[in-house]
Amino acid sequence: MKRLLMPFLLPLLLLIGCAKAPITGRTQIMMVTPQQEKAMGFQAEKEILKKEKLSTDQALIARVRRIGMRIAKATELNLDWKFYVIEKPDVANAFCLANGHVFIYTGILKYTDNDAQLATVMAHEIGHAIAHHVAEQVSMAMVTNIAATAAAIAIEHNVKSSTEEAAYMAALGLGANMGIVLPYSRMLESEADHIGLMLMAKACYDPRESIKFWKKFAKKGKEPIVYFSTHPSSAQRIEQLTELMPQAMKIYRQSGCEKSVSAADSPL
């Protein structure tokens, strides 16, 4: 079987590039360039703007932009930052595309009591973008697909019974999803929490408010079983944020943030 896999794995190893995630320093698998990732972002933005209704609440739009720009400044990246508010009170979601364009659904606002809690959400999404998580997920999908193809060929050549082959193929698919795809997605979410916490602290948003946000968000309804989910549970997020809080508070205090809290941090 190893001899069958080698023709697939050797070119795969040559294609894989490595990068480092900001703040965490984690080594990443990259088979997609930043230019390709940005192009995917612009294409996604076109599709989103075609089908979604943008909010006309100028006060809310201004507030989201102000919070977002403070976090964007903390990244020290000169991206074309833009901030959109989508009028969907029943959708508690937000995301940041690779081009630096952030989308906030109005449904998430019911879980935020102040600017710092909304900053928790926005910093998390911006964390995904600056860590190139879209490119990394696409890269991981490419690696997984190539490896799965190689394994499928090996199974086909080494298993004689069609019934046994079907069982192996089913196990292969389930194993790839449960053992690689979902855990990897949860890991990226946890990393975005980590990056986001440090960004909000650097932007002078009290990082302790992140835990308050996730406690409130946890009450929105029953969460899926973690092992079958793309996201960690709210409890797992809170545990990680609690462990990282001393580091975040050090950044917050060193920046003199506690002395400079202003109306910008007022309740929504």
The reply to whether 125 belongs to the active site is yes
What does the pLDDT look like over 66-76, one tens digit per residue? 999 999 999 99
Residue 91: the pLDDT is 93
Residue 142: the pLDDT is 76
| pTM score over 0.85 | no
pLDDT > 70? residue 58: yes
For the ranges 34-38, 84-88, 142-146, the lowest mean pLDDT is seen at: 142-146
Confidence grade of residue 268 (pLDDT, cut at 50, 70, 90) = low
Residue 184: the pLDDT is 80
**CB–CB of 115/60 below 8 Å?**
no
175 vs 59, which has greater pLDDT?
59
**Active-site residue identified among 37, 125, 189, 191:** 125
pLDDT > 90? residue 183: no
Tell me the average pLDDT across 143-159: 58
Tell me the average pLDDT across 142-149: 64
Tell me the average pLDDT across 169-195: 69
Confidence grade of residue 148 (pLDDT, cut at 50, 70, 90) = low
Tell me the average pLDDT across 139-158: 62
Tell me the average pLDDT across 102-126: 97
pLDDT > 80? residue 64: yes
Residue 246: the pLDDT is 98
What does the pLDDT look like over 188-206, one tens digit per residue? 999 999 999 999 999 999 9
What does the pLDDT look like over 41-51, one tens digit per residue? 999 999 999 99
34 vs 208, which has greater pLDDT?
208
Q: What is the DSSP letter of 180?
A: I
Longest dimension (CA), the chain: 72
User: What distances in angstroms separate CA 116 from CA 70, 204, 250, one per listed residue?
Assistant: 11, 9, 17
What does the pLDDT look like over 10-40, one tens digit per residue? 445 445 567 889 999 999 988 888 899 999 9
Tell me the average pLDDT across 108-123: 97
Tell me the average pLDDT across 69-93: 96
Q: Containing domain of residue 113, as a range?
A: 2-161+168-265
pLDDT > 60? residue 164: no
* Cα 147 from Cα 197, distance rounded (Å): 35
- Token digits of residue 249: 């508070």
- H or E segment at 21? none
* Cα 107 from Cα 101, distance rounded (Å): 19
Angle between helices 115-130 and 182-202 (to 10 degrees): 120
Of 135, 126, 58, 137, the C-alpha closest to 94 is 126
- Token digits of residue 125: 């999404």
Domain count, the chain: 1
16 vs 54, which has greater pLDDT?
54
What does the pLDDT look like over 129-142, one tens digit per residue? 999 999 998 888 77
- Token digits of residue 233: 């549970």
Of 121, 33, 46, 130, the C-alpha closest to 81 is 130
Residue 101: the pLDDT is 97
Tell me the average pLDDT across 247-260: 87
